[in-house]
Each structure stands twice: as C-alpha cells, then as structure tokens.
Amino acid sequence: MASDSLDLLQGTLDVLVLRALVWGEMHGYAVSRWIRQRTDGVIEIEDAPLYKSLHRLERAACIEASWGLSENNRRARFYKLTSAGRRTLRDEERAWRRYAEAVFKVLEPA
C-alpha cells in the first residue's frame, strides 16, 4: 500500500463507487480509473476492496449488474445505479458534507 495515500474509512468507498456510477453504466475497471482520476491519486484505492464494494452494493440492491461489451469488445460486467442506490448516494453525500464541514470548522482558524 502506498505510504502517502490515505486509508479509507469503512463505507467511504461505497459512496465513491455510487458517485462514479451517477453518469451511467460502468464496468469495474472504469470505476477504478474514474476514482483515481477524480482523487488525483491522493487516495490510492486497491482494486480488491473496490470489487468487494461493487458486489456488496449489488447485494444491497443499490446497483444492478449485467453483462455487456466493453470499448475493446470484450465481455464485461457493467454496473448501474438503481433508484435505491440513488437515494443512498444522496443521503450519504449529505452526511459526508456535514461531517466534512464540522471537521473544517474545527481545523480552520476562527
């Protein structure tokens, strides 16, 4: 694990995955790439927990999986947000924002 990357809090990865899928269906590799780009490598996520998160979210019916063709014409498993997933994302986002604001209030000089 890279020493300069942050450890992820339990559950945080799920929010990121859900957020990645907002714009449409993606396969696991695309989700992984999207999260790396968006965090500018600050948070380096191993792929193992990412896939665990994907399948866990599928079990919880937040996302649905189906087989499709990738950009290079290979069979890939695509994930898509369900309406339940959108709701979860909205709730989690709100919670995260409030949490982050509270932390910033403490850290920033008054």
In 3D space, the residue among 23, 56, 55 whose CA is nearest the CA of residue 37 turns out to be 23
Which stretches within 1-110 are classed as H helix?
Answer: 12-20, 28-38, 47-59, 83-107
Q: Restricting to residues 71-90, which ones interact with other proteins according to CB under 8 A?
A: 74-77
The minimum distance between CB 100 and other proteins, in angstroms, equals: 27
Does residue 4 interact with other proteins by CB under 8 A? no
- CA quadruple 49, 54, 57, 58: dihedral sign: negative
Asked if 58 interacts with other proteins (CB under 8 A), we say: yes
Footprint of other proteins on this chain (CB under 8 A)? 27-29, 32-33, 46-49, 51-52, 55-56, 58-59, 64, 66, 70, 74-77
